[in-house]
Amino acid sequence: MSYFTLMSSSTYLEPIQEVTFAMIQMSCGPSLEANRQKAVTRIRIAAEQGAQVMILQELFASQYFCFTEDHVHFGLAESIPGPSTGIFSELAAELGIVIVASLFEKRAQGLYHNTAVVFDANGEMLGIYRKMHIPDDPGYYEKFYFTPGDLGYRVFLTRYGKIGVLICWDQWYPEAARLTALKGANVLVYPTAIGWDSSQDSETNEQQHQAWHIIQRSHAVANGIPVLSVNRVGIEGEIRFWGKSFACNAFGKVLCQASDSQEEIMIQAIDYSQSDHCRIHWPFLRDRRIDSYQSITKRFLDDES
Amino acid sequence: MSYFTLMSSSTYLEPIQEVTFAMIQMSCGPSLEANRQKAVTRIRIAAEQGAQVMILQELFASQYFCFTEDHVHFGLAESIPGPSTGIFSELAAELGIVIVASLFEKRAQGLYHNTAVVFDANGEMLGIYRKMHIPDDPGYYEKFYFTPGDLGYRVFLTRYGKIGVLICWDQWYPEAARLTALKGANVLVYPTAIGWDSSQDSETNEQQHQAWHIIQRSHAVANGIPVLSVNRVGIEGEIRFWGKSFACNAFGKVLCQASDSQEEIMIQAIDYSQSDHCRIHWPFLRDRRIDSYQSITKRFLDDES
Domain ranges across chain B = 17-287
Q: What is the pLDDT of residues B229-278, one digit of tens each?
A: 999 999 999 999 999 999 999 999 999 999 999 999 999 999 999 999 99
* Residue A143 CB partners (closer than 8 Å, separation 6+): A134, A135, A136
Taking an 8 Å cut-off on Cβ atoms, the answer to whether B210 and A133 are in contact is no
Confidence (pLDDT) at A216: 98
Least confident residue range of A99-103, B3-7, B118-122: B3-7
Q: What is the pLDDT of residues B204-222, one digit of tens each?
A: 999 999 999 999 999 999 9
Contact between A6 and A13 under an 8 Å Cβ cutoff? The reply is yes
Contact between A239 and A64 under an 8 Å Cβ cutoff? The reply is yes
Confidence (pLDDT) at A15: 72
Average pLDDT, chain B: 95
Confidence (pLDDT) at B14: 64
| Phi, psi angle pair for A95, to nearest 5° | -95, -10
* Residue B1 pLDDT level (bands cut at 50, 70, 90): very low
Confidence (pLDDT) at B304: 64
Confidence (pLDDT) at A16: 78
* Residue B305 pLDDT level (bands cut at 50, 70, 90): low
Q: What is the CA radius of gyration of chain B?
A: 19
Contact between A87 and A45 under an 8 Å Cβ cutoff? The reply is no
Taking an 8 Å cut-off on Cβ atoms, the answer to whether A293 and B297 are in contact is yes
Average pLDDT estimate for B88-116: 98
Confidence (pLDDT) at A12: 59
User: How is the beta sheet containing B227-231 ordered, strand by strand?
Assistant: B154-158, B161-165, B187-192, B227-231, B246-248, B254-257
A133 → closest Cβ in B282, B289, B295: B289
If you ran DSSP here, which 8-state letter would residue A25 be given? E
Asked whether the predicted pLDDT for residue B101 surpasses 60, the reply is yes
Q: Which residues of B touch A283 (CB under 8 A)?
A: 135, 137
Confidence (pLDDT) at B303: 74
Alpha-carbon distance of B103 to B129, in angstroms, equals 10
Asked whether the predicted pLDDT for residue B12 surpasses 70, the reply is no
Contact between A227 and A187 under an 8 Å Cβ cutoff? The reply is yes
Confidence (pLDDT) at B267: 98
B218 → closest Cβ in A175, A215, A292: A215
Confidence (pLDDT) at B6: 43
Distance to chain B for A183, nearest Cα, Å: 5
Helix (H, G, I), strand (E, B) or coil at A87: helix
- In the annotation, is A183 catalytic? no
Q: What is the ipTM of this complex?
A: 0.95
Average pLDDT estimate for B139-159: 97
Distance to chain B for A42, nearest Cα, Å: 30
Taking an 8 Å cut-off on Cβ atoms, the answer to whether A288 and B178 are in contact is no
Containing A290, the helix (H) or strand (E) segment is none
Low-confidence stretches of chain A (pLDDT < 50) are 1-10
Alpha-carbon distance of B219 to B185, in angstroms, equals 12
CATH of B17-287 among 3.30.420.40, 3.60.110.10, 3.40.50.2300, 1.10.3720.10: 3.60.110.10
β partners of residue B246: B229, B257
Alpha-carbon distance of A231 to A60, in angstroms, equals 10
Per the document, the length of chain A is 305
* CA nearest to A289 within chain B: B133
* CA nearest to B157 within chain A: A305
Distance to chain B for A301, nearest Cα, Å: 5
